[in-house]
Structure 1
Amino acid sequence: MGHRNFSLVIFNSVQVFQAGLVTENSFVLAEGWYDDGIFHVEAFGLPPPEKAETTRSYFGNINFFGGPSPIQVKASSRLAKIEAENTEVMFVLLSDVWLDDSKVMEKLNTLFMGYSAFPPTAFILCGNFLSSPKVLSHAKTLQECFQELGSMLSNYPDLINTSQFVFVPGPNDPVHSTILPRPTIPNSIIDGFKKKVPGAVFSSNPCRIQYCTQEIVVFREDIVTKMCRNCIKFPNDGNIPSHVSF
């Protein structure tokens, strides 16, 4: 269809809503008829995503992920060989690690104890790191909690020396911005922890992790909640997981 300036769009006649959560400012495909300056919509849905294989067929091995290499890591035969030979690789991913909750700390200690004999490649811990926002003492409380976590990890030197610890801030963690990407947790909060776990990485949110040919994006956000809140039409069946795919 050519470019037209629609004076009015009528959605009351929509009979078919495809699966998905349609929010404000999203791209959509609308099917219907145009009559006397009015576009009557009969079917409404989201455009189909393009597969990675299709994109690669046009752009080749250009590195879209980031990093120092101009060529994507998936094209590296050397890294693919290393990945195939190293069958013991393991990433432990946790979210909403509430460091001010005694039960969470107890379970973390059990987790670290269990992995101490066989350290995984990385622990990726995502916020929020406090169970509830502390308006006046948030930063101080979080600083004390990280110091306690550092003391706990000091009991497991093999984990500190072998595993990579990555911390991704959550929506309520104290950072200097409310827009994405969220910056790292301020150094004033984590200095004490990093003295005990010097190899720890405090990343932005979202962050990118590259392991051999694997390209991993870690994004900690209540995105489904926000999509439901801004949804133009809520799914009739109410089964949100069936309408969200990443």
Structure 2
Amino acid sequence: LLSNGIFQVNTCGFPPLEDREASLSLLMGLDFFGGGVIPTEETLRLSSLEKKAVNDMFVILSDVWLDNPEDVPMCYLVEKTMEKLAVVLDGYDSVEVVPSLFVLMGNFCSRPCNLAFSSFEELRLQFGKLGEMIAARSRLKEHSRFLFVPGPDDAGPSKALPRCALPKYLIEELQKHIPNAIFVSNPCRFDMKSTLKIPTPTRIKILDLLYRMRRSCLIPPTSEETSDPFEHLVATITHQSHLCPLPLTVQPIIWNYDHCLRLYPTPHVIVLGDKSEQKAFKYTGITCFNPGSFANDGTFAAYRPCTKEVELSALEG
């Protein structure tokens, strides 16, 4: 504090990041997914299963548009999206070991589902067609799980985070074809040991976060270590241990559920479904990636929990 009353800052940085293993050692086996205390023997057994599951794969797609917009150029994009999705499903249906999990993230509509939106019945039918498309691939229907995460402009009660799962009205037709489909909130987290016996804590979020973070910057990030905006974003959310460290005026948060956005202990994987360029980055042991916008450029990603490797993929054309 200077004599004239000005508070001068010489250095401003992030709070230190606590390593995941250090956090777990202090928690003494406490399961943050509500499973109580997990014995050390069980943790070791699950870790062993993870290393043996060399064929397990998660396929993640963001911006899977299903609607039929009136705008001609947008209608072309939506039609191409469904065609591209069929190509992806056909490709994985023909491999020797099908993916364990498909994660389909919104937005599921090319237009915001706000008060001016009047095509909910049509969108409901399009979800039904998606269910038919998946059910037509018998190996995927039998051996893969499908998880749906709503986007920021999908149908819901508000723009505040966390966003609840897609309304039951929209997904009923799809569930007739895929009864075991999973519909979750945004953000969501899952630990595959509950279904696949693999201890892979994962966080999934979709909010066009990079754009909002850059707009809210008071001081431009330093380029000494990297000039990549995505890498700056990953460093920010991991050090802040929060998926959305923005002012409430920029992004409202339902305060009673703010804990759903926290990143403690740090997960193995963070998936940021952003409209920005497809990107993957490993930071302090955390794998973070953006699968890209499937509707706009046909990009998606595949993640292998055994090796914690990300395969960034794209369809031609």
Tell me the TM-score normalized by structure 1: 0.78
Trace 1:45-194 onto structure 2 (pairs within 5 A).
Answer: 45-64=13-32, 66-71=33-38, 76-100=43-67, 101-117=78-94, 118-133=97-112, 135-194=116-175
1:63–1:72 Cα contact (<8 Å) kept = no
State the one-letter code of the partner of 1:129.
Answer: F
Distance 1:98 1:72, change over 3 A: farther
SS in 2 for 1:76: helix
2:106–2:151 Cα contact (<8 Å) kept = yes
1:168–1:202 Cα contact (<8 Å) kept = yes
Distance 1:121 1:242, change over 3 A: closer
Distance 1:47 1:35, change over 3 A: farther
Unaligned runs of 5+ residues in structure 1 are 1-32
Deviates more, 1:115-124 or 1:52-61: 52-61
In structure 2, the residue matched to 1:27 is none
For 1:162 and 1:239, the matched residues in 2 are separated by 38
State the one-letter code of the partner of 1:184.
Answer: A
1:73–1:213 Cα contact (<8 Å) kept = no
Deviates more, 1:186-195 or 1:229-238: 229-238
Q: CA deviation at 1:216?
A: 0.9
In structure 2, the residue matched to 1:204 is 185
2:149–2:186 Cα contact (<8 Å) kept = yes
Distance 1:223 1:137, change over 3 A: same
2:135–2:177 Cα contact (<8 Å) kept = yes
For 1:207 and 1:215, the matched residues in 2 are separated by 11
For 2:125 and 2:39, the matched residues in 1 are separated by 41
Distance 1:132 1:244, change over 3 A: same
Q: CA deviation at 1:112?
A: 0.9
Distance 1:70 1:180, change over 3 A: farther
Tell me the TM-score normalized by structure 2: 0.62
In structure 2, the residue matched to 1:40 is 8
Distance 1:35 1:60, change over 3 A: farther
Q: CA deviation at 1:50?
A: 1.9
State the one-letter code of the partner of 1:85.
Answer: K
State the one-letter code of the partner of 2:14.
Answer: L
For 1:73 and 1:187, the matched residues in 2 are separated by 40
1:243 pairs with 2:237: no
For 1:71 and 1:35, the matched residues in 2 are separated by 56
For 1:74 and 1:177, the matched residues in 2 are separated by 44
State the one-letter code of the partner of 2:92.
Answer: Y
For 1:184 and 1:166, the matched residues in 2 are separated by 11
Identity of aligned residues (%): 36
Deviates more, 1:225-234 or 1:186-195: 225-234
1:74–1:213 Cα contact (<8 Å) kept = no
Distance 1:113 1:177, change over 3 A: same
After TM superposition, where is structure 1 displaced by more than 4 Å over at least 4 residues in a row? 72-75, 236-239
Q: CA deviation at 1:36?
A: 4.6
CA-atom RMSD, angstroms? 2.3
For 1:77 and 1:51, the matched residues in 2 are separated by 19
For 1:157 and 1:45, the matched residues in 2 are separated by 52
